[in-house]
Structure 1
Amino acid sequence: MRIDIAISGDHVNADLVKGKTVIVVDTLRATTVIITSLVNGAKSVVPVSTVEEALSIKKRMENAVLGGERKAKKIEGFDFSNSPLEYSKGAISGKNVILTTTNGTKAISRSKDGNRVLIGALVNAKAAARKAHGFSEDIIIVNSGTDGKFTMDDFITGGAIVEEILAMGKAELTDIAKTALLIYRSHRDIRSYVKEAAHFRILEDLKLDDDIDFCLQKDIFAIVPEFDHGVIKLTEGQISLL
């Protein structure tokens, strides 16, 4: 088994992910939102790249709500922003969440040619590692990044997932995967590292400290959503409410 990391969604193409298990990470905040939504009883999450696509799908999908952001702010006319705290059981249980974000949903879409596409974050790092390891094939962790660029928050999450995979058995690591692992092992206080990230400061300036605190919790959920044919759901046997 070989583990690699893509530093942003813009670096992903079909050849990079073909034949591999993909774990898409957007810790601050899209993949955390997706995981939280399904934990709290959403039927599905439909990730899309544009606002126009989101509005079009809503017209033909039952029990649909709109969520997402542009420049870290709620999109006008949408039901929810990109804050995981808004996706409570009372708000989204039984709903189909149509989600569009600047980076995360694009990274998911670009990863579609992998053997399977799992949704990961710090909140489910151990579960994502366990599920990916169970397929016994090469793994690539796709960091969503910010505007096509490297992000520290996704990188340290990748390191956390790599460490959890290695706890289950040996694996060959690419140089970038080794570096992410070293970063994680050197910064067990994840916030002390992530606070230096540009995207962290953007959220902090917007007074989204509660979102940051929530997203930087490790292993609070044991589910691993999977993206398939344009929709993210829990696979059979996973329990949404812990």
Structure 2
Amino acid sequence: MKIDIITTGNHVTPESVKNTTVIVIDVLRATSVIISALKNGAKSVVPVTSVEEALETKKKLENVILGGERKAQKIEGFELSNSPLEYGSTAVYDKNVILTTTNGTHAISKSSAANKVYIGALLNARAVSEKVAEGGDDVVIVNSGTNGQFSMDDFIASGAVISEMLSIRDYELSDVAKTALLIYKAHPDFLSYIREARHYKVLMDLGLEEDIRLCLHKDLYDIVPEYKNGIIKLNF
């Protein structure tokens, strides 16, 4: 079995993920938000790619809350932004969260041709690795990226996931997967690497240091969200 990485959501095609299991990673911050919401009792997370689609989807569901961002800031009229700190049980318990973000929900949607699509981040690196290793598919880790470009934060998180997967069973790594693994091993504190990322600096300029601190907490949660038929849940 093989592990490969697609470095931005924009590069995902149905053919590139066909007959594989995909792990979508947007560590700062969409997949960290999804994991946090479901850990704190959300019934589901429905990822959509536009504000208009979010508003239309809201009409079809009950007990809904709208979350997301554009340019890393809360969308006007939405209840929540893209901060995992906002998705506590008081806000999301037993609710259907409709989420739209610049990068992460786009990458999730584009990965739908895979056999299975799991949601990963540093928050659940070990758990998602164990889940994926149960299967027999080749694995593609989709980095959401930032505005269609490579994102350092997603890449080192991919290395963390790959390291965990290799501790469970053997895989053949592509060159890009090997590079992510090497970067992870060279920066076990994460921050020494991620602080050089463009997206990190954008979030810091917006005063979102607490978000970053949470998102870099490896293996805080042991849950594995799965995307299926347009919805993300813990159990189907």
Partner of 2:77: 77
Partner of 1:66: 66
Equivalences for residues 141-180 of structure 1 within 5 A: 141-180=141-180
Letter of the 2:101 partner, please give it. T
Task: Report the Cα offset of residue 137 of structure 1.
Answer: 1.3
Equivalences for residues 4-153 of structure 1 within 5 A: 4-153=4-153
SS at match of 2:59: helix
* Whole-angstrom distance in 2 between the partners of 1:36 and 1:211: 12
Task: Report the Cα offset of residue 38 of structure 1.
Answer: 0.2
* Whole-angstrom distance in 2 between the partners of 1:178 and 1:60: 44
* Whole-angstrom distance in 2 between the partners of 1:14 and 1:230: 15
The TM-score normalised by the length of structure 2 is 0.99
* Whole-angstrom distance in 2 between the partners of 1:195 and 1:78: 29
Q: Over aligned residues, Cα RMSD in angstroms?
A: 0.6
Letter of the 1:67 partner, please give it. G
* Whole-angstrom distance in 2 between the partners of 1:187 and 1:199: 18
How many residues are treated as equivalent by the alignment? Answer: 236
Alignment deviations for residues 155-192 of structure 1 (CA, whole Å, 9 cap, x no partner): 00000000000001111000000000000000001011
Letter of the 1:204 partner, please give it. M
Partner of 2:209: 209
* Whole-angstrom distance in 1 between the partners of 2:47 and 2:95: 14
* Whole-angstrom distance in 2 between the partners of 1:93 and 1:138: 35
* Whole-angstrom distance in 1 between the partners of 2:128 and 2:169: 15
Unaligned stretches of 5+ residues in structure 1? 237-242
SS at match of 2:140: strand
* Whole-angstrom distance in 2 between the partners of 1:201 and 1:142: 22
Alignment deviations for residues 16-69 of structure 1 (CA, whole Å, 9 cap, x no partner): 000000000000000000000000000000000000000011122100000000
Alignment deviations for residues 107-149 of structure 1 (CA, whole Å, 9 cap, x no partner): 0000000000000000000101110111121000000000110
Alignment deviations for residues 195-232 of structure 1 (CA, whole Å, 9 cap, x no partner): 00000000000000000000000000000000000000
* Whole-angstrom distance in 2 between the partners of 1:151 and 1:57: 29
* Whole-angstrom distance in 2 between the partners of 1:86 and 1:14: 33
Deviation above 2 Å: which 4+ runs of structure 1?
none
* Whole-angstrom distance in 2 between the partners of 1:207 and 1:233: 30
Task: Report the Cα offset of residue 235 of structure 1.
Answer: 1.9
Unaligned stretches of 5+ residues in structure 2? none
Identity of aligned residues (%): 59
SS at match of 1:60: coil
* Whole-angstrom distance in 2 between the partners of 1:11 and 1:128: 22
The TM-score normalised by the length of structure 1 is 0.97
* Whole-angstrom distance in 2 between the partners of 1:124 and 1:141: 14
SS at match of 1:200: helix
Partner of 1:240: none
